[in-house]
Amino acid sequence: MTETIRVEGLHDYPQGEIFLLTEADGGYDALVYNTTGRGPCPDEAFAAIDVDKLRVEYGCDLVWKNPRRFWLMDALTIDIVGEPATLGGVDFNLLAKMHMPAGFDPTRDQSSLAYQPQQIHRTNVWEFNAGRQVHLLRSPDDVTWVMQTYTNAKSPDLTVDGLATLGDRLDLPEGWTYRTVTLDRDFAITTDGVANIVPDDLANMYQGLIDGVGSFDPWS
């Protein structure tokens, strides 16, 4: 089963993600479930999901719960690759079947890989409307990375309004720069198979404008 859905009204929209992990090839194969398309992720209900209970229920080696995040695009188009599921009382869509990237450690959050680019398999379109602020990293190799989600898991006072000055709070490595830009026209990131992603040291996640995935480079 593969179905493509488009979801609008996503800016600052809470989403939750659960990974059902099976050991394979020195790492983990994953079924990736996300609440997107099933309604905004409820904070308390998501926090209460018992990953050990899910591991037993689904017969996998490990269940990993990504900290609750907030989308920053205005709309997205994404593939659903299997049947939806209710996990711990919360409704999810199955969005990916993938092998976890090198360096993934289920005992640590994604800030442990801060500023270390990774690749994941994904097919999607992120749409940002003209007039929307986008929050960008620039790496030393002159690649622009566009924030796709932020999280307050490591910094509880972080809100969408604080992203414009987030650069003052990040521990940026030498050669990395943070910038917020207001779009003068509609902007899209279209990924057909492989997405280049990178987290910052507060576990916010960005997608790189590599191999022509961006309709233009908003850093310029």
Mean pLDDT confidence for 122-148: 96
Residue range 95-120, pLDDT digits in tens: 988 888 777 888 888 888 899 998 88
How far is it, in rounded angstroms, from Cα 67 to Cα 14? 11
pLDDT at residue 14 is higher than 70: yes
Instruction: Locate all alpha helices (DSSP H) within 30-106, ordered by sequence.
Output: 43-47, 51-58
| DSSP letters for 129-190 | -TT-EEEEEE-TTS-EEEEEEE--SS-TT--GGGGGGGGGT--PPTT-EEEEEE-SS-EEEE
* % the chain with pLDDT above 90: 81
pLDDT at 155: 94
How far is it, in rounded angstroms, from Cα 219 to Cα 67? 28
Average pLDDT across the chain, whole number: 94
Give Cα separations from 207 to 54, 105, 132 (angstroms): 30, 20, 17
DSSP label of 40: S
pTM score, whole prediction: 0.93
What is the domain partition of the chain in residue ranges? Answer: 1-100, 111-220
How far is it, in rounded angstroms, from Cα 44 to Cα 39? 15
